[in-house]
């Protein structure tokens, strides 16, 4: 374990022993809720073999422990119920938490669903509707997989050829440099990356199909919108962003999903204009990647979430430091 991780874990253990985490949980007092954000639930070896970004993964064993910790110290509600209380001003139960997943990964069906079902816990998955049932993954996954296969000594030269300044030489540094670009410019850089790197090995299907979605819905999982293509909405013209939002809602409704009218902004990208487009497209609320708890009086189209992944939440102390967030 690297020194930063050791220090973080030590601070988390201190917060658990001194009661700082328990005091932080008092903020969930009926006027606030912690909305948790997950992506993938994968065994370590499988995540490593697929070059999945570390910040995207929780192992099945850790996820199961986290659900147990939630049952012991929190009250897990459907996200739609949390939004309804925030919208109406009704009180939430103390310790209110909602579980969400972004993108619609097949591993949510394989690993997350059984753990949730055994405990009778609800969750919401935000789907990229045009990618349901498709092969391949999203551009960050492709970029990681291609860059991971470039020898370390050659990565700086490749980044310069792509016209990118990276903070480091890890695949996640490439993704971080690509995310702020608008959609057209990012695609040009990705095409250049594809031209300079070998094709990654083909992987099995990684995204949910509609039959799996319907099965999960019958088990109590809600499905809402994460856009049509996962385009970052702030990098689109207004008309294209509006199409992304409206088409996703229509695709969900056609399959009997999206009843909550909820949206997760792809890659957390939003601004005032995008929030306005979400309102006009008929959404009821939207969640972001801003890291704090959601409080009564918050703008329903900028609701924050607490992102969780293996490297920062594997122990009980680390989990309690992040949920709801000790200061």
Please give the pLDDT value at position 326. 67
Q: Which residues of the chain have pLDDT under 50?
A: none
Please give the pLDDT value at position 8. 87
Write out the DSSP string of 217-235: HHTTEEEEE--SS---GGG
What gap in Å lies between CA 158 and CA 54, rounded to an integer?
Answer: 22
Residues 6 or more apart in contact with residue 64 via CB below 8 angstroms? 115
Coarse DSSP helix, strand, coil percentages of the chain, rounded to the nearest 5 percent: 50, 15, 35
- Token pair for residue 263? 């949206």
**What CATH homologous superfamily does 31-136+207-304 map to?**
Glycoside hydrolase/deacetylase (3.20.20.370)
Per-residue pLDDT tens digits for 128-142: 999 999 988 899 999
For the chain, the structural domain boundaries read: 31-136+207-304, 139-196
Please give the pLDDT value at position 4. 83
pTM: 0.95
Per-residue pLDDT tens digits for 237-261: 999 999 999 999 999 999 999 999 9
CB atoms within 10 A of CB 124: 23
Question: Three-state SS string across 10-43, please?
Answer: HHHHHHHHHCHHHHHHCCCCCCEEEEEEECEECC
Please give the pLDDT value at position 35. 98
């Amino acid at each position: 374990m690297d020194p930063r991780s050791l220090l973080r874990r030590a601070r988390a253990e201190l917060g658990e022993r001194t009661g700082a985490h328990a005091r932080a949980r008092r903020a969930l007092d009926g006027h606030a809720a912690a909305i948790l954000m997950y992506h993938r639930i994968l065994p370590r070896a499988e995540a490593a073999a697929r070059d999945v970004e570390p910040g995207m993964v929780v192992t099945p064993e850790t996820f199961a422990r986290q659900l147990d910790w939630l049952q012991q110290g929190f009250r897990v509600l459907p996200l739609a119920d949390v939004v309804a209380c925030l919208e109406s001003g009704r009180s939430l139960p103390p310790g209110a938490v909602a579980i969400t997943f972004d993108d619609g990964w097949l591993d949510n069906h394989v690993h997350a669903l059984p753990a949730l079902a055994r405990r009778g816990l609800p969750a919401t998955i935000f789907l990229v509707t045009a990618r349901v049932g498709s092969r391949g993954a999203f551009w960050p996954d492709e970029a990681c997989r291609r860059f991971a296969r470039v020898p370390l000594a050659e990565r700086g030269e490749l980044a310069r050829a792509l016209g990118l300044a990276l903070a480091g030489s890890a695949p996640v540094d490439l993704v971080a440099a690509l995310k702020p670009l608008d959609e057209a410019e990012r695609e040009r850089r990705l095409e250049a990356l594809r031209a300079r790197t070998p094709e990654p090995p083909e992987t099995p299907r990684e995204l949910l199909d509609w039959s799996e979605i319907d099965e999960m819905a019958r088990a109590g999982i809600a499905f809402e919108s994460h856009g049509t293509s996962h385009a970052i909405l702030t990098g689109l013209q207004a008309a294209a962003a509006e199409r992304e939002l409206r088409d996703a809602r229509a695709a969900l409704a056609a399959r009997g999903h999206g009843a909550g009218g909820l949206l997760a902004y792809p890659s957390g990208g939003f601004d005032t204009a995008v929030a306005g487009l979400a309102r006009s497209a008929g959404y009821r609320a939207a969640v972001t990647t801003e890291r704090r708890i959601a409080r009564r009086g918050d703008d329903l189209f900028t609701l924050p979430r607490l992102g969780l992944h293996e490297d920062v939440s594997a122990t009980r102390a680390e989990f309690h430091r992040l949920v709801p967030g000790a200061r």
